[in-house]
A and B are shown apart, each in its own frame.
Chain A
Amino acid sequence: MLFVLRDITKTYGKITALSQLSVTVPTGAVGLLGPNGAGKTTLIRTLLGLVTIDSGAGEVLGLDLLTRRLDIRQAVGFVSEDECLFPNLSGVEFIAYAGELCGMPRSEALQRAHEVLNYVALGEARYRPVESYSSGMKQRLKLAAALVHDPRLLILDEPTNGMDPAGRDEMLELARDLAHGKEMSLLFSSHLLPDVEHVCDHVLVLGCGRLLIQGQIQELKNLHDHCYEVEVKVDARSFARRLGEAGCTMREQDHSLIVGLPPGQSLELLWKLAAACGEQIRCLRPQKSTLEEVFLKALEEDHHAETTN
């Protein structure tokens, strides 16, 4: 398991950042989603052992959250959202220093710094002072600093902030390569759902300090496999009435119908009903939710549950 949390609660005064959060996450690339104030940053700091939780327990990479904090940070690399720099250093000195702080000898830290800077494609800029870097270069630098000690878990908090489209794609490819090609686990926190979908296999959605939904992304999206998106040529309403009489569930979406087949029925039912009412089916495809729909639906359900309570 990547990490296991049991009834974690963390409050900051009157604000509850995490509320009895229990989650078990497998190794691999994990996306962390949630609206502002959901508790994502607090969760990340909890995993790093940087906050003192009010109650609960857990393990990260098999290390106890409460008693092995330093060991956890030794095994974890963290790319923070905020701009953070060691002052008055060049890029390679920056990374070497980050390695030394993790216990690497100076000579090995320098060699390793060059390796990771090659990997993140910071070329000759590595010899310039880091204060002169652009936003995209600083993001790459932070990624390199997180990788220098070869962590088992890499936590990325909004890693594509401030990057141009090409840089963003490169950063996502690096993250994907680390997770799928280099056996490194990833926790990817971002507001950009396509980024999470591109890199991650598993996703957690937080809201108001609680876990709203979690699972493999493909499974969450495939929940709608029994539904189909149908477009007809002439009269969608008439066709919809026929579908309703046959026991199908329906809702309108833009210019198409989202049709849920009754149990035991196949696509043949749709063709028969279309032929019976003289309609032409112009488009028929299985409905696949985007991750955004999964996310919004989870938030909506949580909001509805709160309102009811």
Chain B
Amino acid sequence: MPIFDQGYQHWKGTLSGHAWRWLAITKQGLRGQLKNRSLRMLLLTAWSPALALGFVLAVWGLFEQGSESVLPLLRPILPPGIATDPRAYRHAIWTISYSIFFKSEIIFIMLLMVIAGPNLISGDLRFNALPLYFSRPLRRLDYLLGKLGVVAALVAAVAVGPATAAYLLGVCFSLDLGVIADTWRLLPMSIVYGLVIVASAGTLMLALSSLSRRSLYIGIAWGGLWLISSAVAAVLGGIQRETIVRTVMLKQGVAAPIGGGRGPNRAPLHHPPHPRGALPANWNLIQEQVKEAEIKAAPTNWRPLCSYTANLERLGEALLGTDAAWVQVGRAIEVPRATLQPFLGGGRASPPNERRLADSMVPQYPWTWSAGVLAALLGLSLWTLNLRVKSLDRLR
């Protein structure tokens, strides 16, 4: 026996309260995840939208102050209404910037979940670690909270944290405390949105992770959920637009295009319906009627609900108030657009419509529909977790 061997020693330290036991699981989970080089690279890359957001807010702050370094760049490209009074559009610009930031980060969060998520519970199932956990003073709730904490930490690292940092940067560059009064809502809404993403994506990934001991299958399932649901929503949306185009053209007495028409990205009609390639005389009218029909159908368009990420984005738009921001920007853009349209070959000028931008940039169906879909997924995830993460009562 080595001379320094003291044999078994009793331990007389202080234990932490039971409420914080889940934190040990979160910390251990993060330590394990951060050993993965791919994850570290993705985390670094996921900061690029945050850098862009910070840059935009900083530039806008300088623009508000009339900084000579940015005035010559921005004044020519911005509508006159915005260029002359940028402070009035501060809230709208910040809101739209945050909306675009979160839309970009959703993609990185989905990728993070593919890398970090599958092993959260499947690794414990594969190595039979659950008896080790539940023979400790831990409840199933502590275990699941601990695992969810890993997801929360990653979402905070790429979305909520950078959003907060960008906000502070924007405030600093504005040199005007009034910016806080105008934009304070964005900060708590960003945090709430982050919590929504954690609750939805986190529990869904944990539920998937509990279904198999092979993390590869879970990664494939997650990728399928993300990409296939988006594809299905896009296809259904394309079918709807195709239907609208055909209906309008038939009403106008024009032969409907064979294939083509309006593509999924809502691009204007490119394929001339006339077989000899000549546009019909009422082509502009047809385009306007198609747009009107789409706008009219938008509040009841349920097709985006099929896409998981679209539902998350819809909730984000509602929380941030992006629709109102686009309406405000639309007011500044529409008058010069209506004036310039005949001179730019746009045909007869359509009357200014302050909702034009909002209707095209923000889904118009009720956000409660997306909330319902996400709540249903949350319920299904929790039910699956309750079934799969068994206490030792139901283990062999």
Contact = CB atoms under 8 A, between A and B. Distances in A.
B132 interface: yes
A234 interface: no
B124 interface: yes
B135 A86 contact: no
Given A70-B18, A88-B32, A108-B13, A101 B25 contact: yes
A102 interface: yes
B165 to A, nearest CB: 27
B71 to A, nearest CB: 53
A273 B129 CA distance: 66
Contact of B124 (A83, A87, A104): A87
A35 B314 CA distance: 61
A145 B134 CA distance: 13
Contact of A70 (B25, B128, B137): B137
Nearest to B15: A103
Contact of A105 (B13, B21, B28, B130): B13
B136 interface: yes
Nearest to B7: A119
Nearest to A183: B10
Contacts of A181: 7-8
Interface stretch (A1-9, A46-54, A222-230, A249-257): A46-54
B129 A84 contact: yes
Interface in A105-134: 105-106, 108, 112, 115-116, 118-119, 131
Contact of B135 (A48, A83, A112, A116): A48
Contacts of B32: 88-89
B123 A45 contact: no
Q: Which of B5, B126, B392 has the most CB of A within 10 A?
A: B392
Contact of A100 (B5, B8, B28, B132): B28
B135 A102 contact: no
A50 B24 contact: no
B28 A97 contact: yes
A177 interface: yes
Contact of A84 (B6, B11, B127, B391): B127
B3 to A, nearest CB: 12
A166 to B, nearest CB: 15
B136 A98 contact: yes
Interface string B344-358: 000000000000000
B132 A103 contact: no
B137 A178 contact: no
A176 to B, nearest CB: 12
Given A50-B135, A88-B32, A103-B18, A112 B129 contact: no
A154 B294 CA distance: 70
B131 A82 contact: yes
B131 A85 contact: no
Given A52-B393, A85-B132, A88-B32, A102 B137 contact: yes
B334 to A, nearest CB: 58
A7 B340 CA distance: 90
Contacts of A45: 392-393
B9 interface: yes
Interface string A13-40: 0000000000000000000000000000
Contacts of A100: 24, 27-28
A270 interface: no
A97 B132 CA distance: 11
Contacts of B134: 50
Interface in A50-104: 50-52, 70-71, 73-74, 78, 80, 82-89, 97-98, 100-104
B11 A150 contact: yes
What 8 A-B pairs are tightest by C-beta distance, nearest first?
Answer: A103-B15, A100-B24, A50-B392, A150-B11, A78-B135, A101-B136, A74-B137, A70-B137
23 contacts: A73-B136, A73-B137, A74-B15, A84-B127, A85-B129, A86-B124, A88-B123, A100-B24, A101-B25, A101-B136, A103-B16, A104-B15, A105-B13, A108-B11, A112-B11, A115-B6, A147-B8, A149-B11, A150-B10, A177-B7, A181-B7, A181-B8, A182-B8
